[in-house]
Amino acid sequence: MTVFCHLFSFLVSTSLLFIAVGNGSTRACVASLGALQFQVPEQAKQLAEYFSLYYFVYYMGIFLSKILPPMVRANVQCFNKSDCYPAVFGTLASSFFLGWIIFSFGKFFFKSEKLAEENILLKFYGCVKHALAKKWCKKSLAKRPNYWLHYALDKYDDSFVNEVAKVLKLAKLFLPLPLYFALLAQQDSSWTFQASLMNTTLSSAIKLQPDQAKAIGPVFLFILIPFTQYIVKPILLKLCNYDMKPLQSVALGALFSALSFICAALLQKYIYLQPPKSVNVSWQIPQFLLLMLGELLLSIPGLQFAFTQAPPSMKSVVTAAWFLNNAFGNLIVVLFKELALFNNQSDEFFFYGIIMFIGLMVYIFLAYDYVLQERLGHHLLLTATEATPLQDTFKDELPSTSKSNKEEIF
């Protein structure tokens, strides 16, 4: 029995590792692969539509995953058990295989991409490591560069150092993102648990499983994405000549996400005051609507912004960094669960809403000083004509940002 348990644990761990590697690799590359098919700025509008469509299809998969697996699990019997998890995993594995076949046929239509001569991620790491090491060794110098990454100029060319600097500046802007993804991840955990405390009967003919109630989120997004992309934005642009900037949109999305957890906390307090299973699950609709508004306004423009601002050779690196925040968000949830800081769920929801508000303030501070490439005109930290190979000549990190430039972003 002990051998079987160890074998079972090994198989589960190996499966989770494969899922993590496959999901991480796919999410980092698929978005970039699709976006690289567009010629910017000539097809900037089509690129924006692509990212909206990408999230539409992505949430279609999430919607199906929230509906079909519970149905298969509950309605298929195997090994003399009422719940058949092998059938669930078999269904999902078959869908992955089918998707791979369809993708393989489509590769003939993709724009050809020139492969890098060296591993860009390792080169990126080497540049940062070299600059930090040189900075540490030469910190006593009387004349030092204004920007620490310039220490790498003796080994890496100035154009690559500029690209690394742009990626690091984007990464700094991403710092509050794990808080948002910590909120988003709880649709599948704490919000599902909240639904289990509620009456999931919608009518005499419709009764949901608690883990099916969360499907309302993707449904909202199916409606919000085309409604915003093809109705709201054109109307605002035509009548008000207003086009929301990506950084503004991300800030507004973070605000809606924080409000969704305040709403969830109030609902949880109401559930505690009522008899068990008496509050209908439809009362979760407002919090799901707010959270999906946050997803619409934050994730879609945010990913597009990250891709368009990334250097051409590092677009996959930047999109990978964007999705890496998702993992950090899950770690935040696990950490707070293990600490067990709260006696009831409503206090925990209030806590997440508050830290999201704090994260929003931090993000606004970071984004206020971030200058878009197309607004700045010249965005390099130094140019080949301004810099010499010697380390005794360095330029400032960025030209000073005028008030008018900041007002164009916020």
The three-point CA angle 352-368-172 to 5° equals: 65
- What residues have CB less than 8 Å from 54, skipping those under 6 apart? 30, 31, 34, 303
- Write down all domains in the chain, each with its CATH number in brackets: 125-156 (no CATH), 157-374 (1.20.1250.20)
Helix (H) or strand (E) holding 250: helix 246-273
Whether 178 contacts 328, CB under 8 Å: yes
pLDDT at position 13: 87
Structure tokens at 270: 């109401």
CA distance 188 to 91: 20
- φ/ψ (deg, to 5) at 95: -65, -40
* pLDDT computed for residue 129 by the predictor: 93
Residue listed under structure tokens 């690289």: 36
- Residue 312: asked if its preceding bond is cis (omega within 30°), the reply is no
Beta bridge partners, 291, equal none
User: What residue ranges in 157-196 does DSSP mark as E strands?
Assistant: none
Instruction: Report residue 306 as tokens.
Output: 């990250």
Nearest residue to 218 via CA among 150, 325, 295: 295
- Which letter does DSSP use for residue 215 in this model? G
Sequence letter at residue 332: I
How many helices and strands (H and E) does the chain possess? 15, 0
Cβ–Cβ contacts within 10 Å for residue 304, how many? 21
H or E element in which residue 404 lies: helix 403-409
Distance CA 355, CA 341 (A): 14
Q: Which of 243, 248, 250 is nearest to 228 (CA)?
A: 243
Angle (nearest 5°) at CA 342 between 338 and 345: 100
Closest alpha carbon to 321 in 183, 116, 169: 169
Query: Which residue, 327, 217, 199, is CA-closest to 271?
Result: 199
- Which bin fits 31, alpha (ψ -120 to 50), beta or left (φ > 0)? alpha
Helices (H), 310-372: 315-339, 345-368
Number of alpha carbons in the 13 Å side-chain half-sphere of residue 308: 23
Which residues are within 8 A (CB) of 403 and not within 5 positions of it... i.e. 6 or more apart? none
Distance from C-alpha of 367 to C-alpha of 245, rounded to nearest angstrom: 11
Q: Is the dihedral of CA 130, 132, 137, 138 positive or negative?
A: positive
pLDDT for the residue 332: 94
Cα distance between residue 263 and residue 15, in whole Å: 37
- The pLDDT value recorded for residue 375 is 54
Which residues partner with 280 through β-bridges?
A: 199
pLDDT of residue 401: 39
Alpha-carbon separation of residue 315 from 236, 269, 293, 307, 378 (angstroms): 30, 44, 26, 6, 19
pLDDT values of the chain reduced to their tens digit, one per residue, 410 residues:
577 777 888 888 898 888 878 877 787 788 888 888 888 888 888 998 999 999 999 889 888 887 888 788 878 878 777 778 888 888 888 888 998 898 888 878 887 767 667 788 889 999 999 999 888 887 656 567 777 888 888 899 888 998 998 898 888 888 999 999 999 999 888 999 999 999 988 877 788 888 788 888 999 999 999 999 889 999 999 999 888 889 999 999 999 999 999 999 999 999 999 999 999 999 999 999 999 999 999 999 999 999 988 888 888 888 888 888 988 999 999 999 888 888 899 999 999 999 999 999 999 989 887 755 445 544 444 443 344 443 343 333 333 334 444 434 44
pLDDT, residue 140, reads: 58
Instruction: Answer positive or negative: Cα dihedral of 353, 355, 359, 362.
Output: positive
Q: How far apart are CA 307 and CA 50, in angstroms?
A: 12
Between the CA atoms of 178, 188, 288 and 206, what dihedral angle is there, to the nearest 10 degrees?
170
